[in-house]
Chain A
């Protein structure tokens, strides 16, 4: 499932016109890494919410800047509703 989430994040970033070539699991989403703008982070969060049926509070969405891609994938995976958790 992590791989599905990762692929969705990468494809979302590409949709949002971010170059993902230098981004990997260890890349932070915020200014120390991918440098997503705040509206882009909010958009990424709502895209993930929409795709995977999870929910982030406003505080959590803001904290995403300090998370790496890998950490973000893990957070999403932990919150998946039971019906949306296929076995990898």
Chain B
């Protein structure tokens, strides 16, 4: 890309108050970006355009306009909620942009949500239509969904771009997307984002950051907030972006797919959720050419030290010496944080590299636009440094509300803050540390708590042959508090090793006394319950493994 063009376009975008998530594509063009410049690249064919072959900005606009024209001809209007239940990132994101072109509200659904859950989710949306693909269409048939438009994603792309109506003119508070939380057996929580909220991090952080010639590989699930933000980020910064579908496919094999994609696409940045880093930990990264990668970017749950360290040892970073000038030396950056649909973006940021060692579930410091308070679980007051509290967030990125669920919207508000459902403490230097989700932590009495997420981190650091770990705790039918530890081992690690001493030490007293069993699970073991984004569903695991597990946790888990 021409650096002068990037600078000019970025400056114009920053100065444009109408710019947001609903119109970034057309605004970038309006502000003079070359139509031959980068649009997007997908790992699937798009309307006859081959997989992995970049769409220029002009071609991307045409593919979106074709869909906008088709949907417009079927009567989709501004403020119409339309579900998008598909597998490929292209079908998801092109329809997202087409629906926002019309001022409609795309309700993006992860293609891994089971059919019966999807039916109920769509019913609760009270929308006018659904765009779906061949793999999902049959799952929705026969359930009496009352929808005016049921569209085949392949057909939507056959519209005439010239037939697209004038782009809808968005106001900052206009709803532009509905995304959802995990949903494996329960109906996921629907969250609505505005034109400005889901764009706020791009406007307030990324467009204020130095421009770069990034070439991104996104392994994010396209249907989630991270997917939407990633396309805005790439378009506005004029980055080249390739978007993989379904986080690289079936999780157990996704690491291989991601490594192949890195070697093919040669990205400078790789974006993913925690499951991607866990899956990459199966591989000896030195056997792959990852030299193009300068940074790894994580959102959703914060990542584990065990997964980060091999990644920062791979890839390269810029170095300079008088003798050799600018060179790229081994070692990359891993940018971590924590985010959710409701938060609308990462709220924190920490940069790991070969030279850093601040781990222990440190999520870094708040991003400049976000404000956090940690509230006591006892009396609701702000906790002092070093004390764990419930996380409250104020931020322009926050989602507007839960869709059709005012009860939950207000239940999660406290003193003007959104309660994220996380437990953290902060240190004297202003760094925040995530210890657990509130619904997963267990009060052991006398001021002691069992924090399952922090326990997992401690176990993995102490057991290098453990690739991933899940700790669940709850009460058995008889009322006894028990803790189960599920280990996913590195390839070749023996399952029959007695790790109870080191795991007990990682849990610490008095939690160690509650340790009931340690289970080494294999890939085809159904002990683990994982949601569509790869996140372990501890609520369901408690139900399955701890008969009579804490009723309060069951009631409040989403």
> Interface on A for B, CB 8 Å cutoff?
29-32, 35-43, 46-47, 50, 57-59, 62, 65-66
Nearest CB in chain A to that of B208: its residue: A31
Is A39 in contact with B209, judged by CB distance below 8 angstroms? no
Is B333 in contact with A58, judged by CB distance below 8 angstroms? yes
Residues from chain B with a CB closer than 8 A to the CB of A38 are 209-212
Residues from chain A with a CB closer than 8 A to the CB of B209 are 30-31, 38, 62, 65
Which of A36, A46, A58, A66 is within 8 Å of B319, CB to CB?
A: A46
Which 3 A/B pairs are nearest by Cβ-Cβ distance? A38-B212, A38-B210, A58-B351
Interface of chain B, main secondary structure: mixed
Is A62 in contact with B351, judged by CB distance below 8 angstroms? yes
B321 at the interface (CB under 8 A from A): yes
Residues from chain A with a CB closer than 8 A to the CB of B333 are 58
B253 at the interface (CB under 8 A from A): no
Residues from chain A with a CB closer than 8 A to the CB of B318 are 39, 42-43, 46
Q: How many A-B residue pairs have CB under 8 A?
A: 59
Interface string of B203-237 (1 = CB under 8 A from A): 00001111111000000000000000000000000
Q: A37-B213, A62-B351 are in contact. Are A30 and B208 (CB under 8 A)?
A: yes
Sample of 19 further A-B pairs with CB below 8 A, known A38-B211, A43-B318: A30-B208, A30-B210, A31-B10, A31-B14, A35-B211, A37-B3, A38-B209, A38-B212, A39-B213, A42-B318, A43-B326, A46-B318, A47-B320, A50-B322, A58-B351, A58-B356, A62-B351, A65-B209, A65-B210
Residues from chain B with a CB closer than 8 A to the CB of A30 are 208-210
B420 at the interface (CB under 8 A from A): no
Nearest CB in chain A to that of B322: its residue: A50
Residues from chain A with a CB closer than 8 A to the CB of B350 are 59
B34 at the interface (CB under 8 A from A): no
Most-contacted residue by chain A among B208, B320, B353, B356 (CB, 10 A): B320
Nearest CB in chain A to that of B318: its residue: A42
CA distance A31 to B11 in the complex (A): 8
CA distance A36 to B212 in the complex (A): 9
Residues from chain B with a CB closer than 8 A to the CB of A59 are 350-351, 365
B535 at the interface (CB under 8 A from A): no
Residues from chain B with a CB closer than 8 A to the CB of A46 are 318-320
B88 to chain A, nearest CB (A): 31
Residues from chain A with a CB closer than 8 A to the CB of B355 are 58
B363 to chain A, nearest CB (A): 13
Which of B207, B317, B322 is within 8 Å of A31, CB to CB?
A: B207
Is B320 in contact with A31, judged by CB distance below 8 angstroms? no
Is B321 in contact with A50, judged by CB distance below 8 angstroms? yes
Interface of chain A, main secondary structure: helix
Is B321 in contact with A41, judged by CB distance below 8 angstroms? no
Residues from chain A with a CB closer than 8 A to the CB of B365 are 59
Residues from chain B with a CB closer than 8 A to the CB of A65 are 208-210
**Residue count of chain B within 8 Å CB distance of chain A:** 26
CA distance A30 to B118 in the complex (A): 45
Residues from chain B with a CB closer than 8 A to the CB of A36 are 210
Interface string of B353-367 (1 = CB under 8 A from A): 101100000000100
CA distance A72 to B500 in the complex (A): 52
CA distance A66 to B213 in the complex (A): 19
CA distance A41 to B350 in the complex (A): 18
A33 to chain B, nearest CB (A): 11
CA distance A37 to B2 in the complex (A): 12
Nearest CB in chain B to that of A44: its residue: B320
Residues from chain A with a CB closer than 8 A to the CB of B353 are 58
* 13 A-B contacts (beta carbon < 8 Å): A31-B10, A31-B207, A31-B211, A35-B210, A37-B210, A37-B212, A38-B212, A39-B213, A42-B318, A46-B319, A50-B321, A58-B333, A58-B353
Nearest CB in chain B to that of A29: its residue: B210
Is B208 in contact with A32, judged by CB distance below 8 angstroms? yes
Q: A50-B320, A50-B321, A59-B351 are in contact. Are A31 and B210 (CB under 8 A)?
A: yes
A11 to chain B, nearest CB (A): 13
B7 at the interface (CB under 8 A from A): yes
CA distance A50 to B435 in the complex (A): 39
Residues 316-352 of B at the A interface (beta carbon under 8 Å): 317-322, 326, 333, 350-351
CA distance A46 to B356 in the complex (A): 17
Nearest CB in chain B to that of A58: its residue: B351
Most-contacted residue by chain A among B213, B351, B353, B355 (CB, 10 A): B351
Most-contacted residue by chain A among B3, B209, B321 (CB, 10 A): B209
CA distance A46 to B318 in the complex (A): 9
CA distance A57 to B429 in the complex (A): 15
Nearest CB in chain B to that of A42: its residue: B318
Nearest CB in chain A to that of B209: its residue: A65
Nearest CB in chain B to that of A12: its residue: B320
B231 to chain A, nearest CB (A): 20
Nearest CB in chain A to that of B4: its residue: A35
Nearest CB in chain A to that of B320: its residue: A46
CA distance A29 to B211 in the complex (A): 11
Nearest CB in chain A to that of B333: its residue: A58
CA distance A42 to B365 in the complex (A): 21
Interface string of B182-213 (1 = CB under 8 A from A): 00000000000000000000000001111111
Is B351 in contact with A39, judged by CB distance below 8 angstroms? no
CA distance A41 to B318 in the complex (A): 10
Residues 358-404 of B at the A interface (beta carbon under 8 Å): 365
CA distance A29 to B210 in the complex (A): 9
